[in-house]
Amino acid sequence: MKKLLFLAVALVMVATGANAQTKAVNDAVKAVNKAKAESENPKKAGASATWVKLANAYIACYDAPANGLLAGSPKFQIDMVLKGQPALSSEQVEKGGKMLEAVTYVDKVLYFDETGALQAWVVTKNVIENTLQLAFEAASKAVELDAKNAQAKPLGEIFSGLKQRHFDAAMFHNALGNYAESSVEFESAMNVAAHPFVGEVDSTLAYYSGVTATMAGDHKRAIKFYDYCQSINFEQKGEVAAALAEEHKALGDTVKCKEILTAGFAKFPTNQSILVALINVYRESNEDPAKVLEVLKVAQNNEPNNASLFYAEGDVYKNLGQLEDAIAAFKKAGEIDVNYIFAPYSEGATYYDLAIKIDEKAQAEMDDEKYMALKEQVDQALLNAIAPFEKAFEIGGKNPDFKDVQVVCAEYLKNIFFRFRDKEASFQEKYDKYNQFAADNKAN
């Protein structure tokens, strides 16, 4: 009997909570119906203000289920906001690569992180579907009728609000791993911005639409947005070209992939995404990846004083495992521009990599004489790395933008000088210098 009584009480609580929850929604729906009726009234349908009212009513209806919710709010605060709306269930779920607590209500699911902070929510029950699209259409009608711009201010607020709501929804879906939905919402935000009343070309939203389409595995959709980004010269220093090429590759079009990468590489020769993708596509198609160098040579002939082109050549050689050729190219880049920090840094790092490569060979050598010869080569490669690393360290000290590179150089140098600290007194002093610098700047 007690169990049945408990069940009855629980059902009453759920029903009460549902009614409490739907009051705000019901009020919003009533406002929509009233505004819609006015828009269908011949005497009022010709007034821009009528459609502004309808657009705002639709927006309020969209907001109603989540009124008062704020991302980042602690759970106890959310419980206060949703007082009278009982949770129907709670479970741990993996969303977007993270474990979250999913709390289900009558018309929505809220997601909390391990600290109890609200991360995202999804409305699962809408009395009126596509409210934001309906609001957009109503606002568009208002613009059409507003010949004297009397409604310019409220319309500006409506379009701004629509864009923000679509953006927020996109970010929530992205956080939850719902990438297809996220892409759609980013596109909707972009379309709101592109409305003639606003006249904004939001390249970032176009790019996000493509990125989330990529994450959703929708290659054709991703291509549409990356193509658009390139058409408006939003290239993200070559990242758009790299992403676009990968989408064509995923669809099996390696010819188009190479075409895009080759053009992108000529324009952005130091972009690592393009470089690695270009080498990989040549390898995977059983063609010589060194053909990338042919593209570079043409660019170098056109711009012989462009240090970045020779730096890119070094990167190609390094990716191909031709470390000595890479070192020569990095040296050339450093000669062309003595302040191009990445040239000496990469030269030093490649010498260091060469030392590791030789050391691995030495560890597998069983002949003592050959082993010692290889160890000497290791030492020489490390000693050769000192000068370029110190040059890069010096350049970094003159430009705060390169502080991170300077710290990495100090880490390399302290390791090298520690190895040779007994070789001569100055090496111990330099170890102390770079060790102290690395320690002082570790947090940075």
Q: Specify the pLDDT at position 117.
A: 95
Signed CA dihedral, 342, 345, 348, 349: sign only: negative
Joined together, the tokens standing for residue 103 give 């709390």
Q: Distance (Å, rounded) from C-alpha 51 to C-alpha 137?
A: 9
State mean pLDDT over 409-436: 93
Cα 144 to chain centroid distance, Å, stands at: 37
By the 8 A CB rule, do 106 and 18 touch? yes
C-alpha torsion angle, residues 204, 210, 214, 217 (rounded to 10):
140
**More reliable by pLDDT, 370 or 301:** 370
| Residue corresponding to tokens 């050769």 | 384
Round to whole Å and give the CA distance between 73 and 346: 46
| Residue 16: pLDDT over 80 | no
pLDDT, tens digit, for every residue of 22-69?
Answer: 678 889 999 999 999 999 999 999 999 999 999 999 999 999 999 889
Q: Residue 170 is encoded by which pair of tokens?
A: 């996109």
Please report, rounded to a whole number, the percentage of residues in the chain having pLDDT higher than 90: 76
Q: Six-digit token pair at 379?
A: 């030492």
d(CA 136, CA 144) in angstroms, rounded, equals 12
pLDDT value at position 22? 61
Query: Residues 266-285: pLDDT tens digits?
Result: 888 888 888 878 878 887 87
* 107-130 average pLDDT score: 93
Position 443 scores a pLDDT of: 53
The pLDDT tens digits of the residues spanning 66-89 come to 988 999 999 999 999 998 888 999
CATH architecture of 151-234: Alpha Horseshoe (1.25)
pLDDT of 281 reads 85
- Would you say residue 5 has pLDDT above 60? no
pLDDT of 14 > 50? The answer is no
Confidence check: pLDDT of 188 > 60:
yes
Binning the chain into helix, strand and coil, the percentages to the nearest 5 are 70, 5, 25
Close Cβ partners of 195 (under 8 Å, ≥ 6 residues apart): 136, 140, 143, 159
Q: DSSP characters for 367-402?
A: -HHHHHHHHHHHHHHHHHHHHHHHHHHHHHHH-GGG
* pLDDT score recorded for residue 7: 32
Q: How many helices (H) and strands (E) does the chain have?
A: 18, 4
Dihedral of CA atoms 228, 233, 236, 238 in degrees, nearest 10, equals 90
Here the tokens at position 421 are 């600290």
Domain spans, the chain:
151-234
Q: Is the pLDDT score of 293 beyond 80?
A: yes
Tens of pLDDT, residue by residue over 139-160, are 999 999 999 999 999 999 999 9
Burial 131-150 (b: 16+ CB within 10 A, else e): bbebbbebbbbbbebbeeee
Residue 267's nearest CA partner among 230, 219, 223, 320 is 230
**Does 6 have pLDDT greater than 60?**
no
Query: What local confidence, expressed as pLDDT, does residue 363 receive?
Result: 92
pLDDT at 361: 92
Average pLDDT over residues 105-131: 93
Q: What is the mean pLDDT of the chain?
A: 90
